[in-house]
Amino acid sequence: MSERILTAQQTGHLRHFDNLSRQLPNDWSLMQARTHGQDGFNAYRYQLAYMAYALALTHVHRLPAAPGLFQPAIQRLIDKLLLPEAWMYWRDTGRGGGLLNPRMTDATDQDWDPVVRDNIMYSAYVQSMALLHDYLFDTDRYAEPGSLTFRFWTMHWGGDEKRFPYDRDSLNDHIYWQLVQNGYLGVACEPNCVFQICIQPAILGFRLHDLITGGKRAEETVAAYERAWADFGRLGENGHYNVMVLKDSKVLIGNDGPAAQMDGWCGSLMNMWNREFVHEHYPRQIADYLVHGPDGTLSVPPASPADMNGQEVARDSDGNFGWLAVWASEMGDERTRDGLLAHADRFMNPTRRDGGLYYPRNDTTTDPDGNLVAMGPMTGNVLLGYARLNVPDGLWKLYNRPLPRSRFTEPALTAVDRDVDVSRAEVVDGALHTRLRCTREVSGDGTVTISGIAGRGRWTVTVDGQPAARIDGTTVRPEPGPYADAVHVHHGQVILHCPDTPHTFTFGQDR
């Protein structure tokens, strides 16, 4: 197997995800969008969820032997997703009475529980992120009763705390039965609006639950879901993915614009279970969106504001841009993905903060030369990093190729200090290969903990191919050289002190 080493840009995206996950509770720096509240496609829930998805895909496909890098970050993202700021919008949104549910004005009182009905645009991300965590790291952390609890209280309103306890299993069941009650067509986001996109994360959650428990709910759901949508059609007459069905009137809303975001988001997620269909239609669909720029760069047409009930509503052209990049990465269309990323690097102000790479928010649509420069936090914080870290059919492989149990007994990086960049971590023919460096851009002790080596026979440690130490049980015998003091054993774990420049450490068991 050839070495798979992350680029500086890829490790920069991972560090930015980690940095955002570490911000103090209710510190949403760099994550606020120009739309107020959590109504738009830059909402905190989407940023948190797709950071977790990107981390999961990177762990599975690129750094499989580094659970200690990914597990804490995904846990922190779930913690943030449970904060009231990420779900309190539902108290008002859930009442209906908007443009797409005008007849519901008097039908629904304020509902504080953000997952009890509808709101699949939030509940499915809580469900899938919790199941993703437990599946990837072979744990039952979110199977504990109340491990996914939504809480809110303020002294200004008084009364008892609003408290709604769930866990990965109860939430998975709850979403499933909502889907069944709706004839498998889907579960509404805001009342009455059943989006084709929004059930996809829940399907991922069903599949992950099946992989953990041995069930077949995802298989049943997909088959019934296909039958339910057969009456409406996946695609509109223009060949683009239909957006949603209005539940009360069964009116179909197509992607008439068409909007690249709707296709890119739906296509990249649906590829999990409907791969042949998605790949078949992708080339013609994406060709409708691409704008060719200088030196092979690619972008999308700027989105014009929408008129809604006499209000001018800005639309996210950066969302179109970001979701096309993700879609191209999932399709294995490297030319398109790389062209979009090249445009972002040239015109969208790539920025480093505490070692993390992101593209800062920019509310200006184009520069004086007409190049798209608009950037929102969903694309700048998350989607471009997701696209750069993903592999062809990344979600499809996660969905369809179960992780072998042997993965959890192999040597692995089980704790990684914040100041360590990991650009390689995989086991090849029984040997652990990891490429590490310690950065001064954030604080930390510069160490990595490696499990599965100490106490398991004799191992030789090399640095860039040169012997650095030998481990015999729990005894370390250093070899002469600059890395003689890099390896220690403490409480049955190997502790590795990382250098300031990238080096590859290999732990091979003596035969």
pLDDT tens sequence across 244-295: 999 888 999 999 989 999 999 999 999 999 999 999 999 999 999 999 999 9
How many residues does the structure list for the chain? 511
Q: What is the pTM for the complete model shown?
A: 0.96
- Closest by CA position to 263, among listed 209, 319, 215, 193: 319
193 bridge partner residues: 246
Q: What whole-number distance in Å separates Cα of residue 190 and Cα of residue 101?
A: 8
3 state SS of 324: helix
Asked if residue 371 has pLDDT above 90, the reply is yes
Return the pLDDT at 99. 61
The tally of CA atoms less than 13 A away on the side-chain side of residue 171 is 34
With b for 16 or more beta-carbon neighbours within 10 A and e for fewer, the 307-318 pattern comes to: eeeeeeebbbbb
The answer on pLDDT for 461 being more than 60 is yes
Q: What is the mean pLDDT of the chain?
A: 93
pLDDT at 106: 53
Give me the pLDDT at residue 109, please: 61
The per-residue pLDDT for 434 is 97
In this structure, how many other beta carbons lie within 10 angstroms of the beta carbon of residue 118? 27
Cα separation values, 160 from 145, 154, 163, 182, 197, Å: 21, 9, 9, 33, 36
pLDDT by residue (tens digit) across 150-182? 999 888 877 889 999 999 999 999 999 999 999
Distance of alpha carbon 284 from the chain centroid: 26
Give, in order, the Cα–Cα distances in Å from 214 to each of 129, 301, 321, 385, 402.
19, 46, 38, 33, 11
Report the alpha-carbon distance of residue 244 to residue 267 in Å, rounded.
14
- CA dihedral of residues 21, 23, 24, 25 (deg, nearest 10): -50
Confidence of residue 18 (pLDDT cuts 50, 70, 90): very high
For the residues 15-31, what does the mean pLDDT come to? 97
Name the band, by pLDDT with cuts 50, 70 and 90, for residue 48.
very high
Q: What is the pLDDT of residue 304?
A: 72
CA angle 121–139–386, rounded 5-degree value: 45
pLDDT value of position 108: 52
Residue the block writes with tokens 């709706």:
182
pLDDT, residue 2, reads 37
Lowest-pLDDT choice from 308-322, 329-343, 375-389: 308-322
Residue 103 has pLDDT above 50, yes or no: yes
Structure tokens at 60: 């599975």
Q: Which of 6, 1, 89, 143 has its CA nearest to residue 437?
A: 6
Tell me what pLDDT residue 1 has: 34
What is the rounded distance in angstroms from the CA atom of residue 453 to the CA atom of residue 340? Answer: 42
d(C-alpha 9, C-alpha 147), whole Å: 35
User: Residue 157 has what pLDDT?
Assistant: 74
Mean per-residue pLDDT for 431-459?
95
**What is the structure's pLDDT at 290?**
97
Q: Which residues of 350-379 are buried (b: 16+ CB within 10 A; e: fewer)?
A: beebebbbbbebbeebeeeeebbbbbbbbb
**Tokens standing for 503?**
């080096």
Average pLDDT over residues 405-431: 96
What would the pLDDT profile of 326-355 be if each residue is shown by its tens digit?
999 999 999 999 999 999 999 999 999 999
Six token digits for residue 335: 């030319």
Q: Is the pLDDT score of 91 beyond 50?
A: yes
Kindly tell me if the per-residue pLDDT of 310 is higher than 80: no
Q: Output the six-digit token pair for 469.
A: 């130490």
pLDDT in tens, 478-489: 998 888 889 999
Partners of residue 490 on adjacent β-strands: 493
- Rounded to whole angstroms, the Cα distance separating 170 from 180 reads 15
Q: pLDDT at residue 110 above 70?
A: no
pLDDT category of residue 93 using cuts at 50, 70 and 90: confident
What's the confidence (pLDDT) of residue 306?
67
Helices first, then strands: H and E counts in the chain: 16, 21
Whether residue 409 has pLDDT greater than 60: yes
315: pLDDT strictly greater than 70: no
Nearest of 256, 231, 228, 222 to residue 242 by alpha carbon:
256
8 A C-beta contact, residue 300 and residue 321 = yes
The helix-helix angle for 317-331 and 260-270 (nearest 10°) equals 30
Which CA distances in Å does 106 have to 93, 118, 231, 276, 354?
13, 17, 30, 44, 49
